[in-house]
Each structure stands twice: as structure tokens, then as C-alpha cells.
Structure 1
Amino acid sequence: MILSISSPFSLLSFILFFASPLIAAPEPATIYDHLHRHGLPIGLLPKNITRFSIDSSTGRFQVFLDQPCNAKFENEVHYDFNVSGRLAYGQIAELAGISSQELFLWFPVKGIRVDLHTSGVIHFDVGVVDKQFSLSLFESPPDCTAADPVDQSVALDGVSLGLDGAFS
């Protein structure tokens, strides 16, 4: 087959048409873009992120907040100054810097994974139990209120027992 291209415009159109699949998509600009690209909801991290870093080859990431803060979903969630983990499709492993409150106990969240999107369920691995939440709770980054600078809890082997006002 012989292809005849009569004008420079036609040649450019021909090259762009066949080369377009080879052009890489732009690198995600925000941590929320990275979450989305990995099949995770963007509401897993709060709005007040000041900067982030990610190693695209390993999925290791760090996000930095201007202050520790709390957000309310079904449960209260605490974010430290620094949150880190390893992104893979549909999950965050080796997570550090996020805790979830259950009754009056705080548990460090060690990982997060999304079931098939059709199930609408997201799982938080808090070590002693796997908490399930509706995926719809995490559709957008939550507002995060400054955490009390004086931590009035007692840590028990990675579990924090809140004693705020317990002895009045």
C-alpha cells in the first residue's frame, strides 16, 4: 500500500494521529489526582494539604498539613502533620498518620482498600478490626478542624484511650 500525503498540514495530521497514543498523559498535579488515578476517592485526605511528594515508581507518598486536624465522617478521623503510605490501585498500604475513633478509643489506620466500585464499600484496616464505610462518604476532601494542641489521651500499644473530661 502506498500512502500519498500532498500537503505539510496533511503530513502533520497523519503524524499526530498515529503518534497520539504514544504521548504520555501529564503527571497528576495534586495528591487528589494521584488518589483518583489509583481508583481511590479523593475525600480520603483533607483540604488543608500544604504540599506532597510521591515516588511514581514505588507509590510511596507523603502529604504535609499545616496542623494536625480532625474530620467527621461516620466516625471522627484524626490526621497528623504528616500522612504517608504506599499507593497501589484500589488501596493505600503502610499507612501512617491517620487515626479513627471508635466510641472513645483511637485506632491507627494501617491501610485502606476499596472493594469493587459496584459494592460502594471502603475498608479501613485498624489492626484489630476491618471497618467498612460507604464509599459515598469520601467523594470530596473534607473540611478539617484544628486538633486540640494538648493531647489528653493515653496510648495503649498503638491504641489511644481518650480521657477528655473523664475525671471531672
Structure 2
Amino acid sequence: MRIPFLSLFPALFLTFFLTAHSPPSSIYDHLKHNGLPIGLLPKGISDFSIDPNTNRFHVNLTQPCNSEFEIQLHYDFNISGVLSFGKIANLSGVCQQELFLWFPVINIRVDDPTSGLINFDVGVVDKQFSLSLFEIPRDCTAFDPKGSLSIFQSS
């Protein structure tokens, strides 16, 4: 029995429509949907949630860890923030090393995607990096809690 091609069209259209318009299914999809590179968060995410009304997200890692780019980033067990297009605000759980000190990353933003730059607000200063550093999620090295991680908190 042969099925006419035109009878398959509605099923193909429905499959395409549902696939193209399905909500983001991972935190990486949410980052991409908001114009941010997916490599802002490391590999090793065990769970995530996002409030569709406020865009506040919570990410749980399997363990706290450090990841190296041009800079060193530390990720806590729990990471949270508020997503908007081109920005993560009220970020907690991520620190950036500057010389021998660690500073909490408060906000991350991409002002102009064509510039190829991303800004990290560490409270005392904005640091600018190439977007290409964060194209893919990086491996994360387990953090040794006995090691020294001096974090300066903003008051």
C-alpha cells in the first residue's frame, strides 16, 4: 500500500513546528535563547530549574569546581541568577580569579554581539573577554575545599 506524499505533509509540518518552537530543554538552551554563549556554565550540571515568570534560574553541579579560560573561574555547587536577553543579573555561585584573589561575578552581559566581547562585573571593575572563549561548556576540575579560595564579598 502506497501512501500519497501529500497525506504525509501535515505530519511533517507538525513535527517541524513542534521541534522549531519547543521550549528550551536545558540551561544551555536557555543561555542560547537569551543571546549568551553556552560555555558560561561548565560541564557537570546535575540539575537546573528556571522560573518562567521571572527567568530566575538555579543550577546544581555535581561538585564545586574550577575552570580555566584566559581567566580562572570557580563554580559553587549552586549557581543562580536572572536571565534576560544578553545578560545574567544577580549572579551568585561564580567567582573570577584576579591575581591571587577571587571576586564574585555579579553580572555578565553581552552589550553588542557583533563586537565579539562579553563583560563580567566583579564589583570593583568590569572585565572584558572574547565571546569565543565561552562557545562551549568546559570541563571543570574538582575544587579542593582545603585549598585557599579567598573570596572578597561586596558589602
Task: Give the TM-score normalised by the residue count of structure 2.
Answer: 0.85
Structure-1 residue corresponding to 2:51:
55
CA distance in 1, matches of 2:72, 2:137: 14
Structure-1 residue corresponding to 2:142:
146
The change in CA–CA distance for 1:118 and 1:155 in structure 2 (over 3 A counts) is closer
The answer to whether the Cα contact below 8 Å between 2:39 and 2:136 also exists between their aligned partners in 1 is: yes
Question: Does residue 133 in structure 1 map to residue 116 in structure 2?
Answer: no
Helix, strand or coil at the partner of 2:132: helix
Cα deviation per residue 1:73-124 (whole Å; 9 max; x = unaligned)? 1111000000000000000000000000000010000000012111000000
Q: Among all aligned residue pairs of Structure 1 and Structure 2, give the percentage whose two residues are the same amino acid.
A: 60
Helix, strand or coil at the partner of 1:101: strand
Question: Does residue 108 in structure 1 map to residue 104 in structure 2?
Answer: yes
Structure 1 runs, 4 residues or longer, greater than 3 Å off: 153-156
One-letter amino acid of the structure 1 residue matched with residue 102 of structure 2: W
Cα deviation per residue 1:108-147 (whole Å; 9 max; x = unaligned)? 0000001211100000000000000000000000110001
Structure-2 residue corresponding to 1:45:
41
Name structure 1 gaps, 5 residues minimum.
1-8, 160-168
Aligned residues: 145
CA distance in 2, matches of 1:108, 1:61: 17
The change in CA–CA distance for 1:100 and 1:155 in structure 2 (over 3 A counts) is closer
Name structure 2 gaps, 5 residues minimum.
1-5
One-letter amino acid of the structure 2 residue matched with residue 92 of structure 1: I
User: Which protein has the larger Cα radius of gyration, Structure 1 or Structure 2?
Assistant: 1
1:5-154 equivalences under 5 Å are 25-154=21-150
Cα deviation per residue 1:37-95 (whole Å; 9 max; x = unaligned)? 00000000000000100012211000000110000011110000000000000000000
